[in-house]
Structure 1
Amino acid sequence: MDESQGGSDPNRRRQIRHEYRDLITQLNNQEDDNPESLNKTLATADKLYEEVLQTKSAGIAALDAVLLHSASTVTYQNAQKLVVDNKFEPRQFTEKLVTLLTGRRNTGNNQREVNVKKEAWKDFGKDVQCCFRRAPPFHFMLGSFDRGPPVQKPKPPTDRQGAKPDGPAVVPVQIDETGKSQQEVTTEEVERMLGILKQLTMGDSQDEVEPISYFEFVINPQSFSHTIENIFHMSFLVKDGHVQIKLDEDGLPVVYPSQPFNPQEHNEEVPRKQLVLSMDMREWKEIVEVFEISEPTIPPREDKKARKKKNRAVSR
């Protein structure tokens, strides 16, 4: 906001800022807890604030807010230093209250009951209502009542004769064959993949092995999910030593069957290597186009419904 608004003198506005900064410095450097000094500072700030309203300066109003914050901090610190030794005595309070309401002094030795008029209570309530912002909560003078254990309600008797008849009996469905677990399915797929790899790479002699491209073997150009399954199953074959992976002359991975590692046949420890392979949908499509893969080398397995449908067609 432009400080020229309000028609006040710029020199006076500059002087007000200077006075506000002096008051803030005095509050921050004040070491004693003298309330008169604090009251004097706040009174000076009130007079300055009247001129702030005339100048309509946002910068000076911000200094006034900083001053009030510093004053509240100093007041809170002084309140924390106070030591209150006053202890509430219910008997003394009762004696003073009875004297105020009835006009007669009631000593502690006199334990008789005192009747207080209704009008006296009303007048007393009007006198003290300015000390409370809201009505005090109701509580028992001698503590809460002991309710005792909860009373258990008796349950109504069940009318078996008037009950509605049940529906038709439910017969459990007879299951012809139990479903295979995921581990059994994975084992079958790994064995099936190894059999397909041996048929493609081994010749007439078991010693002659011709490696096959890794991508052409595991990629299914028609299904990205089946490709990921093939890569997952291939990892088990490589881990157990049934399949080995190496790079050909072009630096591309090829796979071929091998004999599992037998620790008893080797005296030295063979180091193990681990490779993390990641493939997304875009990379899968690029591999299919570069290697010109049109048909999957590993056909996807048939589910139970497809096998039943195929068996019914053959039987007909």
Structure 2
Amino acid sequence: MEGSGEEELGTSQAHSQEGLRDVKGRYRALFNLVKENRDELMNLSSDHGLNEVMDEASGLYSHAGASAQIQALDAQLLVVITDLLQEKASQLFVEGNAFDSSAFAEHLLNFMGFNRLEDEDEENGVATNGRLPQDAWLRVAERAQCCFKTAPTFHYMMGSFVAEPPPKQRVERQKKAPTKEAQRTMPAQLKQMEESHQEATEKEVERILGFLTSYHAEDPTSPISYYEFVIDPTSFSHTVENMFHTSFLLRDGMARMYLDANKLPCIAPVTSGETDKAESAIRKQCIMSISMQSWKDLIEAFEITAPMIPANSQNVE
């Protein structure tokens, strides 16, 4: 049974190869036919030759199963036929140049039923008046109807042409220029606010320096932890303000920071004997940031229960 199946498969493949060769041969025959009968196929009075070639090629293409080789042959034949049709169309255009418009107009008038009156110009012998019947153009339309497909329906490309009034343009009001009195008052107000803010910052820095100095004087040998000094366990915003104001102490050389034996930051005031050394030493600045979670973790790690810098009563609303 297995042997008979293989034989049938081999036989079908042989038949398919033989059919493919036959289709290729018929395509070559079409190429030779077009080449040998080129002048006859280019005759404007007959189109049967090219139509027959195209019909036969279509049958071969559908019968061969559209293999890659057949597709290539069909494409080549289509290119040859297209070139012939292009040359044929150019001949039609050349003959169209000999078109007699007067004869066509006379033939059109006769077809439309133009009624020439008897009164003619005696000198030229030409009818001076004439009349077309009411259905003259209808006759032309009915005659031309068979040459065209149905007319496309009319539609708007951008919707209906409903006229709408244009939107009213807003007239922007011009802002009034500040008067001379306002121009004089505004800088004075800003300057006063800036001076008051700077004065409040300086007072808060001096207040924090007083706390740092008093803590250091109580026990000069015991280091003051930086985090225990600036953190307020009851207020995150006050902690941030303490860090901000303490930075001015470090910047101006009124306090210094160092690391203890556990590599933790400590802070201490700068005494009068250390002022000259602090001025001559190279200062280094860094940016410290703190988040709400870090603030909570530091309170838990250092077991901070009360702030070392009490909130200023003047700043509490």
Q: Give the structure-2-normalised TM-score.
A: 0.38
Of Structure 1 and Structure 2, which has the larger fraction of its residues in helix?
A: 2
Q: Give the structure-1-normalised TM-score.
A: 0.38
